[in-house]
Amino acid sequence: AQKVTQAQTEISVVEKEDVTLDCVYETRDTTYYLFWYKQPPSGELVFLIRRNSFDEQNEISGRYSWNFQKSTSSFNFTITASQVVDSAVYFCALSAGAEGKLVFGAGTILRVKS
Amino acid sequence: EAGVAQSPRYKIIEKRQSVAFWCNPISGHATLYWYQQILGQGPKLLIQFQNNGVVDDSQLPKDRFSAERLKGVDSTLKIQPAKLEDSAVYLCASSLVASFSYEQYFGPGTRLTVT
């Protein structure tokens, strides 16, 4: 069975601070995909990144970066120099195996204060 | 490009009443999903359509929930009769490729409150 754990329920930071959101996943499949989605107050989930299990390279996109480590089954997300507009709920998700359904973590609420 | 459209945005009903939600996916997206998101949790898949056929409805409570996508474009999700535990946000998503390995595009959701 697939499982995603986001241990941080809520994080509050002051603008311009760096913040890391943790994601730990469980799967027995060797082929799987990991995702991060952002859910702003408007409600829709916004796709941020997809990673497959064979690509452990870290990725940077502007202020966002992702650290994928198979050895610890983690796919952490860092926002550098956070801004108020980054305030949202962030979800990590996993798709694996023949079923392949997208399994979401419980989400981390990020509050960035000015 | 227009995103995924959903209506209504909010709905309040009493238990045992029925309710329907509508979703129009991104043009050209053959795959459509309905998710249920209970407060404080991540979305949970209810049903997946590929064109107008059901691919996976294993997590849909079929005694009270039904969904259809008659012409392979927009879709309707119905609950009849509603229970208190159905209070949640119902999210519709679509994707170009019928695979969970690809990103999905989500609508704003319908927030249902059952009293």
Condensed to tens digits (0 to 9), the pLDDT of residues A61-86 reads: 899 999 999 999 999 999 999 999 99
Binned at pLDDT 50, 70 and 90, residue A59 comes out as confident
How many angstroms separate the CA atoms of B25 and B77, rounded? 14
Q: Do B43 and A100 touch (CB under 8 A)?
A: no
pLDDT at B51: 87
Distance (Å, whole) CA B14 – CA B25: 29
pLDDT band at A44; cut points 50, 70, 90:
confident
A98 pLDDT tier (thresholds 50, 70, 90): low
Q: Residue B38's pLDDT is what?
A: 96
**Shortest Cα distance from B34 to chain A (angstroms)?**
12
pLDDT surpassing 70 at residue A106: yes
> Which tokens sit at A70?
């198979």
Q: Do B44 and A102 touch (CB under 8 A)?
A: no
Give CB contacts under 8 A, 24+ apart, made by B54-61: B55/B31, B55/B98, B56/A101
Return the pLDDT at A97: 73
Tens digit of each residue's pLDDT (9 = 90 or more) over A3-19: 999 999 999 999 999 99
Kindly report the average pLDDT of chain A as a whole number: 93
Q: What is the DSSP letter of B35?
A: E
Contact criterion met (CB below 8 Å) for B36 and B88: yes
- Which chain A residue has its CA at the smallest distance from B35's CA? A102
A23 touching chain B per CB within 8 A: no
- Cβ separation of A44 and B43 shorter than 8 Å? no
Question: Is residue A99 over pLDDT 80?
Answer: no
Mutate to test the interface with B, among A55, A101, A103, A109 (most CBs of B within 10 A): A101
pLDDT at B72: 83
Q: Average pLDDT for consecutive 10-residue bins of chain B (115 residues)?
A: 92 98 94 95 94 91 95 94 98 85 89 98
DSSP code of residue B42: -
CA gyration radius for chain B? 13
A52 touches chain B (CB under 8 A): yes
> Which residue, among A102, A103, A104, would best test binding to B if mutated, counting the most B CBs under 10 Å from its CB?
A102
**Any B CB within 8 A of A97 CB:** no
Residue A43 has pLDDT above 90, yes or no: no
Of the candidates B42, B99, B103, which has its C-beta nearest A47's C-beta?
B103
* pLDDT surpassing 70 at residue A108: yes
A86 touching B (Cβ < 8 Å): no
- Tell the residue number behind the tokens 């509603």, with chain if given: B82
Question: What per-residue confidence (pLDDT) applies to A35?
Answer: 94
Q: How far is A57 from chain B (nearest CA, A)?
A: 18
